[in-house]
């Protein structure tokens, strides 16, 4: 199936609940040029990625460092300019700020392609699509007070009076489980978990419909990680948020996601619902990844069969021919070298890009006797 057909098939699905639709997104970075007019060398960070985020749900992009998951997230908001592809985003119209008393009128707006959007349209879209970053230290300006940090999106978009914004910040701090009195303090007086809450409050200031969470709990200790994951869950329920969740930790991903896309070297190699992906992973990479995640239980760990991948991640500058994973794949065959597999619907709703999907159903997640 060509990628064109993939788009058509996907369009046939009911799409009334799709908030974000990404199609054939690519991003390549110029690495260097040989001489003045010599051939350019590119790093293909994102190599044709397609997915949908549905209203009120969580889609996770999961993969190891260098797989292109964060670049994809940034391309969606055009914090990095994508090279090609479509990013279709639907801003719900008239989504009020919390505390605003006007009746909510969330009628379905048409999709806007953010890659083609004029700056005004893009600004409007960014009111409705916000991002939380991984590093709660680097992403908060140490010279600003919490009040200034959290109200910054409101100021940037010219929302409300000073008094309104002060009130909104109080409301937001309470929403993320911080004391309203913290507004006058600076980031340095907070722990990692509290800083991440401040980052979340800032992302929610404009009452967005979509929040991109780029490794939001990776920098936190486990006891604090649980607090923040619970908070994100509460907020999703309360505010009807849609999440695009970027993560490397499969256990966390299993806990939070409705649907999951596994990325390897800039491509989605497998995409399925949470239950299908963890119940019967089909791609050998997904299986290896799952088998590598340690489970905090010595009895299970001693019985588990671990797939140790040989070799290293290939360079995104000189990608392997055929299947990107073939250099490390435990079930590689001649065809994989010659022919690049396409993402195909192997089982209903379960997409995999592999010539030899592992249909025998060994899950690796439960211990093999």
Partner 1 sequence: MTPDPPLLDVRDLRTYFLTDSGDVRAVDGISFSMSKGERLGVVGESGSGKSVTAASIMGLIEPPGSVVGGQIRFRGQDLLRLSEREMQKIRGREIAIIFQDPMTALDPVFTVGSQLTETLRIHRGMSRQEARTVAIDTLADVHIPSPEKRFKDYPHQFSGGMRQRVVIAMALLCDPALLIADEPTTALDVTSQAQVMDLMLGLADDRGTAVMLITHDLGVVAGFCENVQVMYAGEIIERGPAGQLYANPEHPYTRGLLESVPRLDDDSQTKLYSIRGVAPSMIQPPRGCRFWPRCDYATDKCVSERPRSCCGDSPKECACHFAGQFNLETDRAGV
Burial classification of residue 184, based on how many CB atoms lie within 10 Å of its CB (0-12 exposed, 13-18 middle, 19 or more buried): exposed
Is the CB of 207 or the CB of 225 nearer to partner 1? 225
x/- track of binding to partner 1 for residues 310-349 (CB under 8 A): -xxx------------------------------------
CB of 311 to partner 1, least distance (A): 7
Is the CB of 89 or the CB of 182 nearer to partner 1? 182
Judged by CB under 8 A, the residue of 5, 13, 297, 334 near partner 1 is: 297
> What residues pair up with 247 in beta bridges, in sequence order?
62
CB of 240 to partner 1, least distance (A): 17
Is the CB of 69 or the CB of 95 nearer to partner 1? 69
In this structure, what token pair is assigned to residue 310? 């040989």
Cα gap 309→330, rounded to integer Å: 7
With beta carbons less than 8 A apart as the criterion, state whether 95 and 209 touch: yes
Judged by CB under 8 A, the residue of 85, 136, 153, 193 near partner 1 is: 193
Distance of CA 237 to the CA centre of its chain: 19
CB of 189 to partner 1, least distance (A): 12
Distance of CA 63 to the CA centre of its chain: 10
Is the CB of 163 or the CB of 299 nearer to partner 1? 299
With beta carbons less than 8 A apart as the criterion, state whether 131 and 208 touch: no
In this structure, what token pair is assigned to residue 322? 């055929």
Is the CB of 11 or the CB of 295 nearer to partner 1? 295
Alpha carbon separation from 273 to 27, 78, 126, 260, 270 (Å, rounded)? 26, 27, 27, 6, 10
Judged by CB under 8 A, the residue of 35, 39, 110, 298 near partner 1 is: 298
Is the CB of 48 or the CB of 193 nearer to partner 1? 193
Is the CB of 89 or the CB of 285 nearer to partner 1? 285
**3-class DSSP state of 214:** strand
Binding to partner 1 (CB under 8 A) within 275-294 occurs at 275, 278-279, 288-294
CB of 65 to partner 1, least distance (A): 6
Question: How many beta carbons lie within 10 A of that of residue 76, not counting itself?
Answer: 24
Q: Token pair 């978009």 is at which residue?
A: 157
Judged by CB under 8 A, the residue of 4, 14, 37, 65 near partner 1 is: 65
**Through-space distance between the first and last CA atoms of the chain, rounded to whole angstroms:** 38
CB of 327 to partner 1, least distance (A): 11
How many chain residues interact with partner 1 (CB under 8 A)? 51
Piece of the chain touching partner 1 by CB under 8 A; list 86-94, 96-104, 305-313, 344-352? 305-313
Cα gap 279→65, rounded to integer Å: 24
With beta carbons less than 8 A apart as the criterion, state whether 61 and 173 touch: no
With beta carbons less than 8 A apart as the criterion, state whether 25 and 69 touch: no
Is the CB of 90 or the CB of 254 nearer to partner 1? 254
CB of 47 to partner 1, least distance (A): 19
CB of 308 to partner 1, least distance (A): 6
CB of 204 to partner 1, least distance (A): 20
Cα gap 151→165, rounded to integer Å: 6
3-state secondary structure 217-261: CCCCCHHHHHHHHHHHHHHHHHHCCEEEEEECCHHHHHHHCCEEE
Binding to partner 1 (CB under 8 A) within 200-259 occurs at 221-227, 229-230, 233, 248-252, 254-256
Distance of CA 276 to the CA centre of its chain: 19
With beta carbons less than 8 A apart as the criterion, state whether 62 and 74 touch: no
Binding to partner 1 (CB under 8 A) within 134-163 occurs at none
Judged by CB under 8 A, the residue of 104, 116, 191, 333 near partner 1 is: 191
Sites of contact with partner 1 (CB under 8 A): 64-65, 191, 193-194, 221-227, 229-230, 233, 248-252, 254-256, 274-275, 278-279, 288-302, 304, 306, 308-309, 311-313, 365-366
């Amino acid at each position: 199936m060509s990628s064109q057909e993939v788009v058509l098939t996907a369009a046939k699905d009911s799409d009334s609940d799709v908030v974000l639709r990404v199609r054939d997104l690519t991003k390549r970075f110029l690495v260097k040029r040989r001489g003045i007019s010599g051939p350019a060398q590119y790093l293909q960070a994102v190599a044709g990625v397609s997915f949908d985020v549905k209203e009120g749900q969580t889609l996770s992009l999961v993969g190891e460092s260098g797989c292109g998951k964060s670049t994809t997230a940034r391309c969606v908001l055009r914090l990095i300019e994508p090279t090609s592809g479509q990013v279709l985003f639907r801003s719900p119209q008239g989504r009020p700020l919390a505390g605003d008393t006007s009746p909510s009128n969330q009628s379905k707006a048409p999709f806007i392609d953010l890659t083609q959007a004029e700056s005004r349209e893009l600004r409007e879209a960014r009111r409705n699509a916000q991002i939380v970053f991984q590093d709660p230290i680097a992403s908060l300006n140490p010279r600003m007070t919490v009040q200034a940090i959290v109200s910054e999106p409101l100021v940037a978009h010219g929302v409300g009076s000073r008094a309104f914004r002060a009130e909104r910040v109080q409301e937001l701090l309470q929403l993320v489980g911080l004391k309203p009195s913290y507004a006058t303090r600076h980031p340095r007086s907070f722990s990692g978990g509290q800083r991440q809450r401040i980052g979340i409050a800032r992302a929610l200031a404009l009452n967005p419909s979509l929040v991109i969470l780029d490794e939001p709990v990776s920098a936190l200790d486990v006891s604090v990680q649980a607090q923040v994951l619970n908070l994100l869950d509460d907020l999703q329920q309360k505010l009807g948020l849609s999440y695009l969740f970027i993560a490397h930790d499969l256990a966390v991903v299993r806990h939070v996601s409705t649907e999951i896309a596994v990325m390897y070297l800039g491509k989605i190699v497998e995409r399925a619902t949470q239950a299908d992906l963890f119940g019967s992973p089909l791609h050998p990479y997904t299986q290896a990844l799952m088998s590598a995640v340690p489970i905090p239980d010595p009895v299970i760990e001693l019985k588990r069969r671990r797939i140790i991948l040989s070799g290293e991640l290939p360079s995104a500058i000189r990608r392997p021919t055929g299947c990107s994973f073939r250099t490390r794949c435990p079930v590689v065959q001649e065809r994989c070298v010659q022919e690049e597999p396409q993402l195909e619907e192997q089982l209903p709703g379960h997409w995999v890009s592999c010539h030899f999907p592992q249909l025998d159903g060994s899950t690796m997640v439960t211990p093999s006797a």
